[in-house]
């Protein structure tokens, strides 16, 4: 059974989360507010940010927006993407995030990535101290491999600290999480909130018409999705979407959410108009035949044991 994930007043986490990585960057204050309002109207209760996003503007803007309904929302942020996962950095990051957002309590604090140079006992002792002080409610891990997550779970347990969430990359064109992370999370009771369900925008179909976005503006994203089978899937998904009468982004997000382990994908955008088709996935019913058709657009990752006959 998954660990409970609720807001301060007991409101359950929504089927999708909204990521505010663009707040204060590619989305100015007005565009950010419009996206926040659209997410609220669609029933989103789970909002995700990070200490490093847009130099702190993401947290500052999000904090200003949640005040009138803070107790019914789940606010997640992340620490230690830079500076290591040592105690001092985690504590300082958490306090900075609280101050930026004007919150007494952070609902979720993630370790933003695995730090091979810091003993995880130090990291989780610091997180347990924040929990014991009432500064954070839940602990998460982001960008951890399965073995790192299992090791973290064992260490965190020595501080009576459950790891409630894990945040991997996951989409139709990035399916490695299916091999070990998703089943591991299910087995250990972790909620999974994967990011980039649109494959950096590749699965929206916009790049087929020379659209601009992360894949044309950021060398890391261009390299991450620079594989022929991914671009082939991006060409075929809009054809299925047209037949089904929906936007490709709706199908992409709904597909990621329809995995048997019931992840809660984090959607994001630069404008309310761009966000609309992803929000439509909140209510979209992905039937098994359509799920399988979409899955067949890309090769499934091999099993963890590499025994191809067991795939």
Q: How far apart are CA 271 and CA 282, in angstroms?
A: 18
Query: β-pairing, 106-111 with 74-79?
Result: parallel
Q: How far is CA 76 from CA 34, 181, 208, 298, in A?
A: 20, 20, 34, 32
Q: Is the dihedral of CA 255, 245, 243, 236 positive or negative?
A: negative
53 is catalytic: yes
Closest residue by Cα to residue 70 from 95, 91, 40, 33 = 40
Q: How far apart are CA 65 and CA 146, in angstroms?
A: 35
Residues 6+ apart with CB under 8 A from 218: none
Q: How far apart are CA 2 and CA 22, in angstroms?
A: 30
Helix (H, G, I), strand (E, B) or coil at 171: strand
Q: How far apart are CA 311 and CA 307, in angstroms?
A: 7
Quickly count: other Cβ atoms within 10 Å of residue 310's Cβ: 9
List 19's β-bridge partners, or say none: 48
Looking at the annotation, which residues are catalytic? 53
């Amino acid at each position: 059974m998954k660990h409970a994930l609720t807001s301060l007043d007991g409101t359950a986490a929504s089927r999708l989360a909204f990521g505010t990585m663009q707040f204060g960057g590619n989305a100015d204050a007005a565009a950010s507010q419009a996206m926040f309002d659209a997410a609220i109207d669609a029933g989103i209760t789970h909002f995700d940010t990070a200490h490093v996003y847009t130099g702190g503007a993401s947290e500052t803007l999000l904090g200003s927006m949640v005040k009138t309904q803070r107790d019914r929302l789940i606010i997640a942020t992340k620490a230690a993407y830079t500076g290591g996962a040592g105690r001092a950095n985690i504590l300082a990051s958490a306090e900075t995030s609280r101050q930026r957002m004007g919150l007494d309590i952070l609902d979720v604090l993630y370790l933003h990535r695995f730090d091979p140079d810091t003993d995880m006992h130090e990291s989780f002792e610091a997180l347990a101290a924040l929990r014991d002080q009432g500064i954070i409610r839940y602990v998460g891990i982001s960008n951890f491999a399965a073995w790192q997550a299992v090791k973290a779970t064992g260490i965190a347990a020595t501080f009576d600290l459950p790891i409630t969430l894990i945040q991997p990359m996951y989409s139709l064109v990035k399916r490695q999480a299916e091999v070990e992370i998703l089943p591991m999370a299910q087995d250990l009771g972790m909620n999974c909130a994967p990011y980039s369900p649109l494959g950096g925008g590749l699965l929206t179909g916009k790049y087929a018409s020379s659209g601009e976005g992360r894949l044309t503006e950021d060398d890391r994203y261009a390299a991450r999705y620079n594989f022929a089978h991914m671009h082939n899937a991006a060409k075929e998904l809009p054809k299925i979407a047209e037949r089904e009468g929906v936007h490709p982004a709706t199908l992409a997000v709904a597909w990621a959410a329809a995995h048997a382990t019931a992840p809660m994908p984090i959607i994001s955008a630069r404008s309310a108009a761009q966000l609309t088709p992803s929000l439509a996935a909140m209510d979209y019913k992905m039937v098994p035949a359509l799920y399988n058709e979409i899955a067949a657009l890309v090769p499934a990752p091999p099993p963890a044991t590499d025994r191809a006959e067991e795939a």
